[in-house]
Structure 1
Amino acid sequence: MKALLYTPSLPRFFAARALGKRFPRGLLPLRLAEVPLPEREGFVRVRVRLSGVCGSDLALLYGKSPPTISPFFSFPAVLGHEVLGEVEGSLVAVNPLLSCADRGLPPCPACQRGEEGLCQNVAEGALAPGMLGYNRDLPGGWGEWILVRPERLYPIPPGVPEARAVLAEPLAVVLRGLKKLRPWPEELLVLGMGTLGLLAVGLLRALGFAGKVYAVAKYPHQGERARAFGADGVYGTAREALLARARRYRYLLFEGYRGGYQAVVEASGSGRGFREALALAQEGGKVLLLGAPGLEWADLSPFWFKEVGLLGSYTYTREEFAEAVGLLPNLRGLEGLVGGTFPLERWPEALAARGKALLRPG
């Protein structure tokens, strides 16, 4: 089958890390190739309809992924873990986790609790390390077909557009994270109005959050969409948001702040966003990481001086994934986050797209 194959290259990794988005896309370790679709007992063949380009995919390609998590993925691999598939004419969302049950192992303590996203055996068993899309044994969604165990397929509710349905996986990540903020505060700030940030704003309102939601949006069109999804106020920069709520103090060449927001959702996935989120959280507040900043420096004093709590959301349980799929009919407008749909041959354009990019095989 035709697929986009990622093959690691240390020279390209370090060059891309140094140059960032200036690194030529044609030199990225990604190529369109013919790859075999393996057969595996207990897995079904699913035709890929759409697959999203995730921030973690871009982090991998541009050398921003933290090296400490590399043993838990395996390459070369067909990328793509946000997958909308088709089985016998019906649309399905794909849960890409490969935990103990998928690997032919007895459940570890995390899987026994239903916390498959925290599975202790992601690098063990009959499969290579990693979830679907980061696994050399099973191709991800940037190809024509995938193999999945039937229980990881979730029927899409009638009437949901494909461009909204393919967002089920990142929606589940956001859902899990927002639940960790319960009991919800009276207000919160979402930092970064890319896909995850806008999903967070829209999902908060869909879940019945009645408090104030503020957003930091880099671009005017992101701010407009944040308001449409339910944000009460939008700031152009994190500093503007900070000065609106905190008191500033100065000593010599240094400045510090008291006050801020009860909870800050960091959705930009950048080191700068992480540092800003710590500064924006008020004393005793919480910071939720939805993005993946990787290796970055940060002033850690807010953890003890302001007693800020740090939370993260990486994947989800099966129940959370099912809940996310069930919420899709109520989240009208999410399909507007899609910045373009591209055939596999035009993958460089997909990586450069403004907004959420989707790949469509065939």
Structure 2
Amino acid sequence: MMRALILTGPGKAEVREVPVPVAGPGQVVVEVERAGVCGTDVELFTGEMSYLHSGVASYPLRPGHEWSGTVREVGEGVDSTWTGRRVTGDTMIGCGHCRRCLAGRHHVCPDRHELGIRDGLPGALAERVAFPAAYLHALPDTVDAAAGALIEPAGNAQRCVDAAGLDAGERLLVLGTGTIGLLTAMLARARGFEVHLLGQELEFARSLGFGDVWTRETLPGLPWDAVVDATNAPSMPRLATELAEPGRRVVCIGLSGTPSMVDSRDVVLKDVTVVGILGASAGLAAAIAAFASGAVDPRPLVAATVGLEQAADVLSGRRPAAAGRGPKILIDPQL
């Protein structure tokens, strides 16, 4: 048996003893070293996550989709050289045979699993997790356990940077100073963009070396070559569209609890391209490379690392007593 965090209903979570997973055909079993807690996990805990209402996710549910660990077992058909390797994995697990999967868009497969989010694949907030080998990504020695658990959000951020469509020296405005916003800014800076941030937690952003950080009231009237909305505020997509330079791009990765209203006249008359980002799949390899090379060090974003028994407190919004200023809390399931 092993310990795993189980969500049993809205606002209810407990650590339970569950059977240790066995690697089925095409699978590996990973000993989890670190797992991150993100906004999706919080929404699953509170019951606000839309998947719970559409029926693709249901309680009891084992969360955890940001993780790193070591392969301890391989199943039938899996290359044995995976054993002992440090890895992370793609959250989005496609069926592999539908039109979207065959076109390389498995992250929007209608029958996809999302590890620890949709029903079908228990997540990584546990001592061990079973995972399909085809979706593994090996971690170099220069990417430690904490950085490895930040690859998944960084893959999302990398996709935002790519979608912005900028060249070195052009100006990017990132709305939001949470984990995704800050990772987007860090990856964009590494690519040579002029990066500005708009948010509320500005001192921490400054501590990461960002000098151009603003509130809505202090934001200068500069031409913004691209705008990324990494907030959960329903007013921000419209603001992003209003701020973006004509003929350029708005990238939306944040999700609000209520519908966001965007005036299509702003989109059409400014000839703005609005891009939505779901999932890290296409950005994972580049995120690993950025971390491995030292171009981006995500570890300052980690405020604290706690054991599995404290995960429910983290989900309910209680920060560990000794937590730093960063936005990310990691769980060490072995504690």
- TM-score > 0.5 by shorter chain: yes
Superimposed CA distance per residue, residues 137-192 of structure 1 (whole angstroms, 9 cap, x where no aligned partner): 43201111111122222221113232112111111111122212225482110111
> Equivalent residue for 2:104?
114
> Is 1:337 aligned to 2:301, yes or no?
yes
**Contact residue 186 and residue 296 of structure 2 kept, 8 A:** no
Question: What pairs up with 1:157-196 in 2 under 5 angstroms?
Answer: 157-184=140-167, 186-196=170-180
Superimposed CA distance per residue, residues 7-44 of structure 1 (whole angstroms, 9 cap, x where no aligned partner): 34xxx4xxxxxxxxxxxxxxx12222222344432211
Give the letter aligned to residue 313 of structure 1: I
> Equivalent residue for 1:35?
18
Q: What is the total number of aligned residue pairs between the two structures?
A: 310
Instruction: Write the distance in 2 (CA, Å) between the matches of 1:359 and 1:52.
Output: 6
Which has a greater percent of helix?
1
> Equivalent residue for 2:4?
3
**Contact residue 175 and residue 197 of structure 2 kept, 8 A:** yes
3-state SS, counterpart of residue 289 of structure 2: helix
Distance 1:198 1:120, change over 3 A: same
Comparing 329-338 with 79-88, greater Cα deviation is found at 329-338
Distance 1:142 1:67, change over 3 A: closer
Instruction: Write the distance in 2 (CA, Å) between the matches of 1:60 and 1:214.
Output: 31
Give the letter aligned to residue 234 of structure 1: V
Instruction: Write the distance in 1 (CA, Å) between the matches of 2:150 and 2:21.
Output: 26
Distance 1:220 1:188, change over 3 A: closer
**Contact residue 341 and residue 350 of structure 1 kept, 8 A:** no
**Contact residue 288 and residue 311 of structure 1 kept, 8 A:** yes
Please state how far the C-alpha of 1:93 moved relative to its aligned partner. 1.2
> Equivalent residue for 2:130?
147
From 39, 42, 53, the equivalent of 1:55 is 39
Length-normalised TM-score, structure 2: 0.83
Superimposed CA distance per residue, residues 205-241 of structure 1 (whole angstroms, 9 cap, x where no aligned partner): 22x23x4211113124323135x2xx45111x12422
Distance 1:239 1:65, change over 3 A: farther
> Equivalent residue for 1:46?
30
Q: Percent identity?
A: 30
> Equivalent residue for 1:78?
62
> Is 1:357 aligned to 2:329, yes or no?
yes
Instruction: Write the distance in 1 (CA, Å) between the matches of 2:216 and 2:248.
Output: 16
From 206, 209, 213, the equivalent of 1:234 is 213
Question: What pairs up with 1:241-280 in 2 under 5 angstroms?
Answer: 241=219, 244-245=220-221, 260-280=223-243
**Contact residue 224 and residue 243 of structure 2 kept, 8 A:** yes
**Contact residue 93 and residue 156 of structure 1 kept, 8 A:** yes
> Equivalent residue for 1:19?
none
Give the letter aligned to residue 201 of structure 2: Y
Please state how far the C-alpha of 1:299 moved relative to its aligned partner. 4.5
CA RMSD in angstroms, aligned pairs only: 2.5
Distance 1:299 1:134, change over 3 A: closer
Question: What pairs up with 1:205-216 in 2 under 5 angstroms?
Answer: 205-206=189-190, 208-209=191-192, 211-216=193-198
Unaligned runs of 5+ in 1: 13-27, 102-106, 123-129, 247-259
> Is 1:94 aligned to 2:89, yes or no?
yes
Instruction: Write the distance in 2 (CA, Å) between the matches of 1:223 and 1:316.
Output: 23
**Contact residue 194 and residue 222 of structure 1 kept, 8 A:** no
Instruction: Write the distance in 1 (CA, Å) between the matches of 2:63 and 2:15.
Output: 12
